[in-house]
A and B are shown apart, each in its own frame.
Chain A
């Protein structure tokens, strides 16, 4: 039987590697999941003079998408965000560390999927939300509790796997 040992061990290894293909090593679980969304009050990009804080979005589930105009990957998820917005998902933006203030011009050019954007110029609110890089997207439920988080660009696949089941489960 000894001669079959290498093959058996190899098969086990293969099974793990196969499983690994469907896992994302960069996906770090957020300690905020199941906790109330961290508060902030920030100026609104689209409406100068107004401010936004997460409490205002309560009542229905909503998404907070952390992005920046200088971020290439954010551009990759943009078409999907447009699609989400068109399907009625309430998408809020956190315009993160946009020192050059390019966001408004960029959104005017490529289309704005957001209900509104909160401007987090010094990145402080991002730190409170545990943002490690852009893009990151949070799902917050009707009661203001963080339900899911995704680091990296959103896509149909990610959406169907991580976000859509939670929204359906809530019956919304």
Chain B
């Protein structure tokens, strides 16, 4: 009964979405206030009904209702309750339901927080979001019904994919989707502006905090995914250039470009048409990512769905939503804003460079990801594009970008002077150079790429220090600086921390792959690992062989790690559960390989210097985004609409 209630709620939500996607847009066009007023109740009603549907599905999972096909395929009576809950979005159907729930959540937030928008703009923004929702709800109802029954019901479920039974997976998908879907808000703002036929700095001010928050979620989502892969895939990798990862990186790169061009649009009223285009492009990347993952056109370690009907539906959706928007963009090509007048050395020109480099990076990721598809479609055979390509193209694009990140915030709008900049950054330059030599020396091996990475990371960090120490503060002290400024500096510092982490772990990690009998030891990076044997250890829905590995640190301290090799009861699937000792200066990572007979096992030990900085950097970037989005100027009443039209 409950699953049918959920299914019914979805259909009601779809009808409400149709209402929200049509009447307010008509109302805005004809100036009919009562039609425009429909948007708010329709959006809130939609959230309520999708929430009800989601709760029904979660209930079916929590109560082990295996007569629901989705539950039978993705859950198991012995699965711990927290993973039964996360299994709700562990399948294709469930994750699409999460998608529409997030969209309804963003829309509802917008209805509550957008009271200061002009009624017409507001109705159009909500109307566009309603149309997007129609597309996705129709997709769920028509091709991916999460409530489909299975008769007769099986005695037990087939269990959630063991890879997804991990703490990182509890929050990774919701965060990622919040980011993906959040870009629909800036997209809706862009379309509303095209429909309004008015584009000014006020538009950028409305769209900017929403975009920043979506970017924060996406950043956290990607970082969590990387942390999950690091701990769960058993070989300590944190990024694989897998098509699925690239699908999330593409909207991130576009979104990062967007939040920077929004700065120019808001502060200077320039690059407005470009910013509007980026808003469409960023959401296009979100949809493209969804399509790539959900259609199975690319082979990937986590290729989930592989159903041409679904792929076709999302492709049609992509064609209508993005194709339609780009047509609208071309037809009502936005004019307006201040003339683009700025010098070569200015904040504007640096932000243009930022956009150019980020979009070039986006293009290379997209090319690398879709290249196998292009060649296959043209009949040139099968190829795969791997990490060597991405590593080779990313470094030359990101190195100049990172170099400019330190300089950008110190450069004044309109016209700056290279000499002043050089003067302000002279000590930062010297300091970064010293570290670029000293840090690799301390690691015992000077590598050019390591020196470059350390230089760029340190250069940005010192730039942040200079920016805060010599801030253009109106009063005295750091307290008076606006949150937007703090947010930018914290996010840039986070980027620097991440760059340092990536550089050091890529260049100086070490590993040993050994056969270990009880009492054997292996030495790595000054640590001694002693294998104390493995014993059986039952878990809730698996049995594990749990090894005891005693580690002695160079300082003489010691601790114990317990890597596991699990076999899941429902499917018999094996999983490696690595044991990780996390530290500021690096991680020690032990994973248990195969049982080699007797009491011997193959064991892999890794030393991952500074790997934690990667995710700490991601967290700082997200924190910076939150600070910036909570700046006071977004909470004040908007400037009266007398900005240049």
A residues contacting B by CB (< 8 A) are 3-4, 6-7, 10-11, 13-14, 16-23, 25-29, 70
Minimum-distance CB pairs A-B, first 9: A25-B299, A19-B377, A20-B297, A7-B326, A3-B333, A3-B330, A20-B373, A21-B311, A4-B330
In the bound complex, residues from chain B placing their C-beta under 8 Å from that of A23 are 297, 373, 376-377
* CB of B370, distance to nearest CB on chain A (Å): 7
In the bound complex, residues from chain B placing their C-beta under 8 Å from that of A28 are 382
Interface centre among A14, A17, A70 (most CB of B within 10 A): A17
B residues contacting A by CB (< 8 A) are 277, 280-281, 284, 291, 295-299, 303, 308, 311-312, 315, 318-319, 322-323, 326-327, 329-330, 333, 370, 372-374, 376-377, 381-382, 572
Tell which of B281, B299, B372 touches A6, judged by Cβ atoms closer than 8 Å.
B281
A6-B277, A10-B284, A14-B318 known; A25-B326 Cβ under 8 A: no
Interface centre among A6, A10, A20 (most CB of B within 10 A): A20
Question: Once the chains are docked, how many angstroms separate the CA of A28 from the CA of B384?
Answer: 11
In the bound complex, residues from chain B placing their C-beta under 8 Å from that of A4 are 330
In the bound complex, residues from chain A placing their C-beta under 8 Å from that of B572 are 70
In the bound complex, residues from chain B placing their C-beta under 8 Å from that of A16 are 370, 373-374, 377
In the bound complex, residues from chain B placing their C-beta under 8 Å from that of A20 are 295, 297-298, 373, 376-377
* CB of B362, distance to nearest CB on chain A (Å): 13
* CB of A127, distance to nearest CB on chain B (Å): 19
Q: Contact check, B322 vs A10: say whether CB atoms are below 8 A apart.
A: yes
In the bound complex, residues from chain A placing their C-beta under 8 Å from that of B333 are 3
Given contacts A16-B370, A21-B312, A70-B572, 19 further A-B contacts (CB under 8 A): A3-B330, A6-B277, A6-B280, A6-B329, A6-B330, A7-B326, A10-B323, A10-B326, A14-B323, A17-B291, A17-B297, A17-B318, A20-B295, A21-B297, A21-B308, A23-B297, A23-B377, A25-B297, A26-B303
Tell which of B280, B299, B315 touches A14, judged by Cβ atoms closer than 8 Å.
B315
Q: Contact check, A22 vs B308: say whether CB atoms are below 8 A apart.
A: yes
In the bound complex, residues from chain A placing their C-beta under 8 Å from that of B281 are 6
Chief secondary structure at chain B's binding surface:
helix
Q: Contact check, A11 vs B277: say whether CB atoms are below 8 A apart.
A: no
A-B contact pairs, 16 of them (CB 8 A): A3-B329, A6-B329, A7-B330, A13-B370, A14-B318, A14-B319, A17-B291, A17-B315, A17-B318, A20-B373, A21-B295, A21-B311, A23-B377, A25-B298, A25-B372, A70-B572
In the bound complex, residues from chain B placing their C-beta under 8 Å from that of A6 are 277, 280-281, 326, 329-330
A11-B323, A25-B299 known; A18-B315 Cβ under 8 A: yes
Chief secondary structure at chain A's binding surface:
helix
Q: Contact check, A25 vs B376: say whether CB atoms are below 8 A apart.
A: yes
* CB of B154, distance to nearest CB on chain A (Å): 14
Question: Once the chains are docked, how many angstroms separate the CA of A14 from the CA of B297?
Answer: 13
Question: Once the chains are docked, how many angstroms separate the CA of A22 from the CA of B299?
Answer: 13
* CB of B287, distance to nearest CB on chain A (Å): 11
Question: Once the chains are docked, how many angstroms separate the CA of A21 from the CA of B327?
Answer: 24
Q: Count A/B pairs, Cβ under 8 Å.
A: 69
* CB of A148, distance to nearest CB on chain B (Å): 16
* CB of B360, distance to nearest CB on chain A (Å): 15
Question: Once the chains are docked, how many angstroms separate the CA of A7 from the CA of B372?
Answer: 23
Q: Contact check, B370 vs A7: say whether CB atoms are below 8 A apart.
A: no
Question: Once the chains are docked, how many angstroms separate the CA of A25 from the CA of B373?
Answer: 8
* CB of B331, distance to nearest CB on chain A (Å): 8
In the bound complex, residues from chain B placing their C-beta under 8 Å from that of A10 are 284, 322-323, 326
Interface centre among B298, B299, B377 (most CB of A within 10 A): B377
Q: Contact check, A29 vs B295: say whether CB atoms are below 8 A apart.
A: no
Q: Contact check, B308 vs A7: say whether CB atoms are below 8 A apart.
A: no
Closest partner residue, chain A, to B309 (CB atom): A21
Closest partner residue, chain A, to B311 (CB atom): A21
* CB of A77, distance to nearest CB on chain B (Å): 15
* CB of A64, distance to nearest CB on chain B (Å): 22
* CB of A27, distance to nearest CB on chain B (Å): 8
Q: Contact check, A7 vs B323: say whether CB atoms are below 8 A apart.
A: yes
In the bound complex, residues from chain A placing their C-beta under 8 Å from that of B299 are 25-26
In the bound complex, residues from chain A placing their C-beta under 8 Å from that of B381 are 29
Question: Once the chains are docked, how many angstroms separate the CA of A10 from the CA of B330?
Answer: 13
Closest partner residue, chain A, to B374 (CB atom): A16
In the bound complex, residues from chain B placing their C-beta under 8 Å from that of A25 are 296-299, 303, 372-373, 376
In the bound complex, residues from chain B placing their C-beta under 8 Å from that of A18 are 315
Q: Contact check, B376 vs A21: say whether CB atoms are below 8 A apart.
A: no
In the bound complex, residues from chain A placing their C-beta under 8 Å from that of B376 are 20, 23, 25
Question: Once the chains are docked, how many angstroms separate the CA of A3 from the CA of B273?
Answer: 10
Question: Once the chains are docked, how many angstroms separate the CA of A17 from the CA of B381?
Answer: 16
Interface centre among A6, A11, A18, A29 (most CB of B within 10 A): A6
Closest partner residue, chain A, to B277 (CB atom): A6
Question: Once the chains are docked, how many angstroms separate the CA of A26 from the CA of B377?
Answer: 14
A6-B329, A16-B377, A29-B381 known; A21-B323 Cβ under 8 A: no
* CB of A151, distance to nearest CB on chain B (Å): 11
Closest partner residue, chain B, to A1 (CB atom): B330
Question: Once the chains are docked, how many angstroms separate the CA of A113 from the CA of B500?
Answer: 60
In the bound complex, residues from chain B placing their C-beta under 8 Å from that of A7 are 323, 326-327, 329-330
Question: Once the chains are docked, how many angstroms separate the CA of A19 from the CA of B376?
Answer: 9
Q: Contact check, A29 vs B382: say whether CB atoms are below 8 A apart.
A: yes
* CB of B244, distance to nearest CB on chain A (Å): 13
Question: Once the chains are docked, how many angstroms separate the CA of A23 from the CA of B374?
Answer: 11
Question: Once the chains are docked, how many angstroms separate the CA of A19 from the CA of B280?
Answer: 24
In the bound complex, residues from chain B placing their C-beta under 8 Å from that of A14 are 315, 318-319, 323
Question: Once the chains are docked, how many angstroms separate the CA of A70 from the CA of B372?
Answer: 32
Closest partner residue, chain B, to A21 (CB atom): B311
Interface centre among B315, B326, B327 (most CB of A within 10 A): B326
* CB of A153, distance to nearest CB on chain B (Å): 11
Closest partner residue, chain A, to B243 (CB atom): A25
Question: Once the chains are docked, how many angstroms separate the CA of A19 from the CA of B311?
Answer: 11
* CB of B153, distance to nearest CB on chain A (Å): 19
In the bound complex, residues from chain B placing their C-beta under 8 Å from that of A11 are 323
* CB of B421, distance to nearest CB on chain A (Å): 33
In the bound complex, residues from chain A placing their C-beta under 8 Å from that of B277 are 6
In the bound complex, residues from chain B placing their C-beta under 8 Å from that of A70 are 572
Q: Contact check, B315 vs A21: say whether CB atoms are below 8 A apart.
A: yes
Closest partner residue, chain B, to A70 (CB atom): B572
* CB of A115, distance to nearest CB on chain B (Å): 30
Question: Once the chains are docked, how many angstroms separate the CA of A55 from the CA of B299?
Answer: 36
Question: Once the chains are docked, how many angstroms separate the CA of A11 from the CA of B312?
Answer: 15
Closest partner residue, chain A, to B327 (CB atom): A7
* CB of B322, distance to nearest CB on chain A (Å): 6
* CB of B247, distance to nearest CB on chain A (Å): 13
* CB of B505, distance to nearest CB on chain A (Å): 30
In the bound complex, residues from chain B placing their C-beta under 8 Å from that of A3 are 329-330, 333
Question: Once the chains are docked, how many angstroms separate the CA of A14 from the CA of B303?
Answer: 20
Closest partner residue, chain A, to B373 (CB atom): A20
Question: Once the chains are docked, how many angstroms separate the CA of A4 from the CA of B277?
Answer: 12
